[in-house]
Amino acid sequence: MTNSAISERKNQSISRGVGMTTQIYADRAENSEIWDVEGRRYIDFSSGIAVVNTGHRHPRVIEAVKAQLDRFTHTCYQVVPYESYIRLAERLNGMLPGKFDKKTIFLTTGAEAVENAIKIARNATGRPAVIAFSGGFHGRTFMGMALTGKVVPYKVGFGAMPADVFHAPFPVALHGVSVADSLAALDRLFKADVDPARVAAIIVEPVQGEGGFYEAPRDFMTALRKICDQHGMLLIADEVQTGFARTGKMFAMDHHEVAAENPPWPKRRAGGPPGGAAPGRPEICHAPRPGGPGGTYGGSPIGVAAAHAVLDVIDEEKLCDRANTLGNRLKQRLQSIRDEAPEIVDIRGPGFMNAVEFNDVTKGLPSSELANAVRLKALDKGLILLTCGVYGNVIRFLAPITIQDAVMNEALDILESSIREVRAA
């Protein structure tokens, strides 16, 4: 088999709407490496969009999944429940930021977790409206699209979005939007577009994912918490893309002094098998009637088994500390070439959730062309990278937190040489 031959078959059988970053087809993977069907090795700095934080095929995860396969694969928790689901909820509830009791439901995907968080918020408050932010990404379902603050490719051509969803600018100092600007925009929103008494929740990513890996400033999160408390709204912190341990703490909200009522949890909690969650305060989570939230595959016994193993690995291998170490190494390498690469306008990100942003120095504008050229050059050298951002001019780095030191060094060498060669072209 060859990649090109499979790609031809793909063109004949798969909708073009399923976008693909590369045209390499995986044959096997191990920790931070992938081998394609032609036998070529790649270093994976995407991790399935930050899903396999504990690496491809971590032995503990594989062992847990195999053990569950020998017992049962599916009963639907809502029909015949199982203890492992409850035990996982107990573990996660005890870890969630906030000094209050929690309840949890498990779902299949990040978008489904967001959908249920919004459903629960509306049900608990009796209010219809939701506020989200520019650049945010919350999924590809209709509510997810409505909440998402980026049109192409997520909203274009899909018709009317659900009503009562409003957007405010997310504070990004690099792009001239301060915390004060964002808060002033919220105030104008309340005066011109929506009565705050109609708002069920404000949803925000502690670190924007698809939007460009911009971290929410601490004073911004504190202000949102105050606004929500003042007006009886819920604060929903979408942690679907930040993931466990990725930001150097178990949750991205651990970087802040405030907590959210019902944060959608990461799909990467299961290290590969699907798994999302929507936890929250008991009085909020208990608002819907039985059967309102849920899903046939939510809390799959296989995903639950994998999630238990992932939590064990994060703890035993001290992956929060490891994320900080790796992120510092990556940012230091990029900083070392920044003086000779004026196209690099920012290097950022907590823990190992990092990004580099490029501008066209002649125009002083974001350059998606430069970011994509670096991505393609790196891919040619065997390093898989992803771009993101409203302007597509950001490269994000999402290698497994378990990446081996030697492989990390190799990846950094490829990254640096790719930037240098693109600049020289």
> For position 61, what pLDDT does the model report?
95
Q: Say which residues have a Cβ less than 8 Å from residue 390's Cβ, sequence separation at least 6.
A: 134, 135, 149, 150, 211, 212
Q: Which residues contact 134 (CB under 8 A, 6 or more apart)?
A: 149, 167, 168, 169, 170, 211, 390
C-alpha angle 387/389/395, rounded to 5°? 30
Long-range contacts of 365-368 (CB under 8 A, 24+ apart): 366/391, 366/392, 366/393, 367/343, 367/393, 368/392, 368/393
Task: Give the start-end residues of each E strand in 250-309.
Answer: 276-277
- Inter-CA distances, 42 with 45, 51, 385, Å: 9, 17, 10
pLDDT at 274: 60
What are 89-148's pLDDT values in tens digits? 999 999 888 888 888 889 888 899 899 999 999 999 999 999 999 999 999 999 999 999
- Position 290 scores a pLDDT of 86
Mean pLDDT, range 210-237, rounded to an integer:
96
Pairwise pLDDT comparison (260 vs 182), residue with the higher score: 182
Query: Which stretch of 6-10, 256-260, 355-359 has the lowest confidence by average pLDDT?
Result: 256-260
Q: What is the mean pLDDT of residues 64-75?
A: 97
Rounded CA-CA distance 196/176 in Å is 26
Q: Is 280 helix (H, G, I), strand (E, B) or coil?
A: strand
Query: Does residue 82 register a pLDDT over 50?
Result: yes
* pLDDT range class, residue 382, cuts 50, 70, 90: very high
Give residue 100's pLDDT. 84
Range name among 66-70, 289-293, 318-322 with the lowest pLDDT average: 289-293
How many Cβ atoms from other residues are within 10 Å of residue 127's Cβ? 21
Side chain identity at 217, as an amino acid letter? P
Distances (CA, A) of 128 to 183, 306, 408, 419: 21, 36, 47, 47
Tokens of 419: 């930037």
Sorting pLDDT into bands at 50, 70 and 90, what band is 271? low
Average pLDDT value for residue range 27-49: 97
Contacts 24+ apart (CB under 8 A), 224-232: 224/258, 225/258, 225/259, 227/186, 227/202, 228/201, 228/202, 231/196, 231/197, 231/199, 232/125, 232/197
pLDDT at 262 over 90: no
The stretch 78-82 carries a mean pLDDT of 96
Task: State both tokens at 63.
Answer: 């062992």
More confident call, 7 vs 270: 7
DSSP bridge pairs for 280: 103
Q: List, for residues 232-251, the tens digit of each pLDDT value.
A: 999 999 998 898 999 999 99
Q: What is the overall mean pLDDT for the chain?
A: 93
CA distance 417 to 22: 20
* Pairing relationship of beta strands 199-204 and 129-133 according to DSSP bridges: parallel
Q: Supply the pLDDT for residue 281.
A: 79
Does the structure show a pLDDT above 50 at 270? no
Cβ neighbours for 336, distance < 8 A, ≥ 6 positions apart: none
Per DSSP, 319 falls in state: H
- Measured CA to CA, the distance from residue 45 to residue 396 in angstroms comes to 8
Of 266-270, 385-389, 407-411, give the lowest mean pLDDT range.
266-270
Q: State mean pLDDT over 229-234.
A: 96
- Render pLDDT for 165-187 as a digit per residue (tens, 0 to 9): 999 999 999 999 999 999 999 99
Q: Can you list the domains of the chain with their CATH numbers?
A: 3-54+318-424 (3.90.1150.10), 63-316 (3.40.640.10)
Q: What confidence score (pLDDT) does residue 200 get?
A: 97
Say if residue 348's pLDDT is above 90.
Answer: yes
What is the pTM assigned to this prediction? 0.94
Strands (E), 207-366: 234-237, 276-277, 344-348, 354-360, 365-366
Does residue 277 carry a pLDDT above 80?
A: no
Indicate whether 366 pLDDT > 90: yes
CA atoms of 93 and 110, how far apart (whole Å):
18
- DSSP state letters, 99-153: SS--B--EESSHHHHHHHHHHHHHHHH---EEEEETT----SSHHHHHH-S--TT
Give the per-residue pLDDT at 268: 47
Give the confidence band of 264 by pLDDT, cuts at 50, 70, 90.
Answer: low
Provide the residue type at 175 as one letter. Answer: H
Which tokens go with 402? 């378990």
330 and 114 Cβ atoms separated by less than 8 Å = no
